[in-house]
Structure 1
């Protein structure tokens, strides 16, 4: 059983008095993969580095299985970290890269050989031990970096945007492989990314971060379908966010009126493109700006009368042309006020 607990952790960088992480708390259950997701500067990598021991918290507590590791150096922690840059030693072959950490821990030579060979098989690089790192592709190097962490048999695996430098197809294949390995080993994992697709496809739970704080912690499907703040709504996937006024149960924006059973006042209406139906109409409240055909579906860019740009996902993009008038029918909406959700339906 390996449980990670982060309690009220804050990190303030003295230079510029920058608060990178602000009273952050999170429990990661045994065998769970939790993704830290957010834009650059949200504090996700700083938080991961504090868990790994590469940064010292200004305050707060970090424990693994109840043991306080807050100020332990990296080599004293039961964690393994995989960096974006691979950080492999190019003067060593694959076997020596993996064996290095075990030698520092004075593991017997026969045990080192067994563990290195086993983990290379696990990451799909059986027989690659004698290869030089410079002879490997980017994807193979990332597998070696993962293997180097796993061979130490850590309680907690930390992944810091490990696929960011790879091309899209390789990224998709490797994230599937890493998720399979993580589930096979049942290893508790904290994963940092700014890629929404990676978070949605890999995580048991997603932590959306902004300015060092938590915006929402939830399952991937709930983060997408039920974002609790306007920031999460706009950050996860594609979302139409429309500012307007509610009066007498109707949300109004020039060229748009939607029933909305909330109190009168300013509000932000959120509608996913797949939930915004459109129909051709000469007197429609919006006009087609652009049509993009992706083969499996189409995306129609729309302009309201005041210039507001919206997007609608359609199954037959050939039915729409630039300049065409359309009626809008939102099938599902959410509404926000004062940075909180006030309606979903």
Structure 2
């Protein structure tokens, strides 16, 4: 196991920054996901840790040792790329054994370590196959085994499942989590998939435009987003523009108690925190469509200001298209200038209903 320390790392390209003043500590055995949209700097940060990009400023330390300027082959890191990067004219065994051969290990030791690595990733009988004979998922397992066989202190994974189908991606991420937990290896995992990050991470680093927006465990990221960007990027979030006056936030279709200073505000409400009741008001929200996911239903509602929001309901819910509805809210967030200024997890539905016609 190892501890990774990143101090004020920057990477500039011309006049702009791909990564700008990022500092992060990753503890022994921790799995941290770098999450963000394309261009957020997450892969550039990972490549700097692996030695494939040179930082413009800052330091990278592993167990207190400065590795900032070491080449990749001299770092105690193993990197798995999205593209697999396997040699197609070699067998699976030879691909995995390559790094061990460079270290001039005895043949018997190489064979033992490669066989152990193959067994670890579920490919015990695949050593003599050519990589071109493998499926995409099997090739990614070989790439993972090739990194793990070198026993790195830090494992780096750069969107390794992005090219795979949904079911295979879910199965492989579960396998990677099991292997990582069993080995206790410190791991950084780059992804733009929120579901992947929520399923894998001990902590999530949400990145945007080269900076860290928030660093926290998955449940905190989801339930207590610090910024409007994080709230919208993790999970599904409804955003409504409202005006606060005398401790009350007012929208054409919704009124909520909000003890902050008067002025405009953005309300953030999760679909599962909303409920619907039929309404006879001619200007109430109107059901646009209902999507059945089996375990639950998602109802699209068109509000009077043109906003479309989503409400989660049980599997037996009924909401015909065109039905007028009133909105109930059990929890919400409030944002100003992109930052969260208020959050509640208390049940406000009864209060909201009593205020809805105020």
Same fold (TM over 0.5): yes
- Cα displacement (A) at 1:317: 5.8
Residue 293 of structure 2 corresponds to 294
Moved more, 145-154 or 302-311: 302-311
2:189 to 183, 188, 191: 191
Gaps of 5+ in 2: 345-358
Q: 1:223·1:236 contact (CA, 8 Å) conserved in 2? A: yes
2:122 to 107, 117, 124: 124
- Cα displacement (A) at 1:149: 0.2
- Cα displacement (A) at 1:285: 2.6
Q: Secondary structure at the match of 1:101?
A: helix
- Cα displacement (A) at 1:107: 1.6
Residue 25 of structure 1 corresponds to 23
Task: Give the alignment's TM-score, normalised by structure 1.
Answer: 0.98
Q: Distance in 2 between matches of 1:325 and 1:285?
A: 6
Q: Distance in 2 between matches of 1:281 and 1:203?
A: 42
Q: Secondary structure at the match of 2:132?
A: helix
Q: Distance in 2 between matches of 1:196 and 1:234?
A: 11
- 1:174 counterpart = 2:141: no
Residue 72 of structure 2 corresponds to 74
- Cα displacement (A) at 1:318: 4.7
- Cα displacement (A) at 1:304: 1.1
Residue 336 of structure 2 corresponds to 337
Cα gap change, 1:138/1:316 in structure 2, threshold over 3 Å: closer, same or farther?
closer
Q: What does residue range 305-344 of structure 1 map to in structure 2 within 5 Å? A: 305-316=304-315, 318-344=317-343
Q: Secondary structure at the match of 2:54?
A: coil
Q: What does residue range 18-167 of structure 1 map to in structure 2 within 5 Å? A: 18-167=16-165
Q: Distance in 2 between matches of 1:85 and 1:319?
A: 45
Q: What's the C-alpha RMSD, in Å, of the aligned pairs?
A: 1.0
Gaps of 5+ in 1: none
Q: 1:293·1:317 contact (CA, 8 Å) conserved in 2? A: no
Q: Secondary structure at the match of 2:214?
A: strand
| Residue-by-residue CA offset, 1:144-175 (whole Å, 9 max, x unaligned) | 00000000100000000000000000000000
Q: Secondary structure at the match of 1:319?
A: coil
Residue 303 of structure 2 corresponds to 304
Q: Distance in 1 between matches of 2:47 and 2:207?
A: 15
- 1:12 counterpart = 2:36: no
Q: Distance in 1 between matches of 2:65 and 2:194?
A: 32
Q: Distance in 1 between matches of 2:316 and 2:323?
A: 12
Q: 1:292·1:317 contact (CA, 8 Å) conserved in 2? A: no
Q: Distance in 2 between matches of 1:318 and 1:272?
A: 18
Q: Secondary structure at the match of 2:239?
A: strand
Task: Give the alignment's TM-score, normalised by structure 2.
Answer: 0.94
Q: Distance in 2 between matches of 1:18 and 1:125?
A: 44
- Cα displacement (A) at 1:255: 2.4
Q: 1:88·1:97 contact (CA, 8 Å) conserved in 2? A: yes
Q: 1:7·1:24 contact (CA, 8 Å) conserved in 2? A: yes
Q: Secondary structure at the match of 2:95?
A: helix
Q: Distance in 2 between matches of 1:158 and 1:223?
A: 22
Q: How many positions carry a matched residue from both structures?
A: 343
Residue 278 of structure 2 corresponds to 280
Q: 1:256·1:285 contact (CA, 8 Å) conserved in 2? A: no
